[in-house]
């Protein structure tokens, strides 16, 4: 009896050998690809411990080298998103991930509005990606979030006509996210600090390049969709959807312990180190509003414009909401060119204390 798995001699004579040869080549090609894929995944760039293993050019380095550390994850250990598909409010509200809803009214989102278009970026997604390269209202933007600093910043990512695409470097400065700009040659990539808003190492640092910071509002999904019913939401990445229901930073947020070196720290600290704040300003003139200060002023209505100097005018754009708590920013009413950043007190102090006026307390010393 012939082996049913073996091609019949007649089949081979009728040209079947060509099919067999093609299948053999395809099988070999797939095997080569699979081996390459496994090899690539088995040897990511960056060992999680040594900065040099990440392959970034660190000359020049515009920040203290001792505060540049590996996060424990390799380069691209968190996959930044690029132009994700978007959902409407109805689609987002109806969607489920795992055994629960994709978004619930109390979830925090980063709200951005540009060119008449509004979009909400859920933090439950961003904690697993940290960077979203997107286009909103025709403007290339990068929406970023670092759970170590609870810091949310949106940038215009177009520089001199080039739309940059950012990834997660796996490195940190002052316990804060360092992004990198994707380049064809690894040696041409630069490191960018989320909270310094500029390149800190590599070719872009040598050129003194900074990013334009955009106005944002970090508030609950329920509040944002009520205020912006036309908003869209990035759809979950299918391979990551199951992770969006969990937050690996819950324990970290619940204490004042810092996992990585930060200098300088406030001494004595006016607030718990991880107290959230919102800062409004531009360039080297910022006013910071720690949430405890806003909560003491008013827990339900827009903060009264009773503070001295510039703080009074800026406070009128803020609404403290006890749910969360969150502080919403009336981004559509801000003066042209105003930027908005959210961060933990310790992180903002370390990066911007000299140029910051603290609401109700004057300029930091």
| Same domain (yes/no): 206, 283 | no
| Same domain (yes/no): 172, 284 | no
Residue 250 lies in a domain: no
Per cent of the chain over pLDDT 70 is 83
Number of domains in the chain: 2
DSSP string, 289-318: EEHHHHHHH-SSSBPPS-SSHHHHHHHTTE
Residue 22 lies in a domain: no
Residue 27 lies in a domain: no
The mean per-residue pLDDT over the stretch 83-89 comes to 97
Domain holding 346, by residue range, is: 266-363
Report which of residues 363 and 245 the model is more confident about: 245
pLDDT tens-digit map of 31-83: 333 333 333 445 789 999 999 999 999 999 999 999 999 999 999 999 999 99
Residue 97 lies in a domain: yes
CA–CA distance, 289 with 295 (Å, rounded to integer): 10
Q: Which residues contact 187 (CB under 8 A, 6 or more apart)?
A: 57
The structure's pTM equals: 0.85
| Same domain (yes/no): 286, 213 | no
Q: Which of 280, 265, 278 is nearest to 346 (CA)?
A: 265
- Residue 309 has a pLDDT of 55
| Same domain (yes/no): 214, 299 | no
Per cent of the chain over pLDDT 90 is 73
pLDDT at 304 over 90: no
CA–CA distance, 96 with 102 (Å, rounded to integer): 5
| Same domain (yes/no): 270, 329 | yes
Last residue within a domain, chosen from 221, 250, 274: 221
Tell me the Cα Rg of the chain: 24
Last residue within a domain, chosen from 163, 190, 221: 221
Range from 1-10, 244-253, 267-276 carrying the lowest mean pLDDT: 1-10
| Same domain (yes/no): 214, 290 | no
| Same domain (yes/no): 217, 270 | no
| Same domain (yes/no): 60, 200 | yes
| Residues paired with residue 96 on neighbouring β-strands, in sequence order | 101
Residue 255 lies in a domain: no
| Same domain (yes/no): 113, 180 | yes
- Residue 145 has a pLDDT of 98
CA–CA distance, 2 with 70 (Å, rounded to integer): 61
pLDDT at 302 over 90: no
| Same domain (yes/no): 145, 273 | no
pLDDT tens-digit map of 209-241: 999 999 999 999 999 999 999 999 999 999 998
pLDDT at 299 over 50: no
């Amino acid at each position: 009896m012939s082996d049913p798995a073996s091609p019949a001699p007649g089949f081979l004579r009728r040209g079947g050998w060509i099919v067999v040869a093609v299948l053999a080549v395809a099988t070999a090609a797939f095997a080569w690809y699979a081996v390459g894929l496994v090899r690539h995944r088995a040897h990511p760039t960056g060992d999680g411990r040594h900065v040099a293993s990440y392959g970034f050019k660190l000359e020049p380095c515009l920040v203290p080298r001792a505060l540049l550390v590996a996060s424990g994850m390799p380069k691209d250990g968190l996959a930044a998103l690029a132009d994700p598909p978007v959902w409407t409010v109805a689609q987002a509200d109806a969607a489920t991930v795992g055994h629960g809803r994709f978004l619930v009214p109390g979830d925090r989102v980063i709200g951005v509005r540009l060119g008449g278009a509004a979009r909400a970026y859920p933090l439950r997604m961003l904690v697993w990606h940290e960077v979203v390269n997107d286009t909103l209202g025709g403007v290339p933007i990068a929406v970023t979030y670092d759970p170590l600093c609870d810091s949310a910043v949106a940038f215009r990512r177009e520089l001199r006509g080039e739309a940059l695409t950012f990834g997660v470097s796996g490195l940190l400065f002052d316990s804060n996210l360092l992004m990198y700009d994707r380049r064809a040659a690894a040696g041409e990539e630069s490191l960018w600090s989320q909270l310094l808003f500029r390149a800190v190492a590599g070719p872009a640092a040598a050129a003194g390049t900074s990013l334009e910071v955009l106005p944002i509002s970090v508030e609950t999904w329920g509040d944002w969709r009520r205020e912006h019913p036309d908003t869209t939401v990035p759809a979950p990445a299918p391979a990551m959807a199951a992770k969006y229901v969990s937050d690996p930073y819950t324990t970290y947020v619940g204490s004042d312990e810092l996992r990585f070196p930060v200098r300088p720290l406030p001494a004595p600290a006016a607030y718990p180190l991880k107290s959230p704040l919102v800062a409004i300003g531009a360039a080297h003139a910022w006013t910071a509003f720690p949430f405890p200060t806003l909560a003491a002023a008013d827990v339900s209505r827009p903060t009264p414009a009773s503070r001295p100097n510039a703080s009074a005018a800026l406070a009128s754009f803020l609404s403290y909401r006890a749910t969360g708590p969150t502080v919403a920013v009336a981004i559509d009413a801000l003066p042209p060119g105003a930027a908005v950043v959210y961060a933990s007190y310790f992180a903002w102090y370390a990066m911007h204390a000299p140029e910051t006026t603290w609401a109700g307390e004057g300029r930091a010393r």
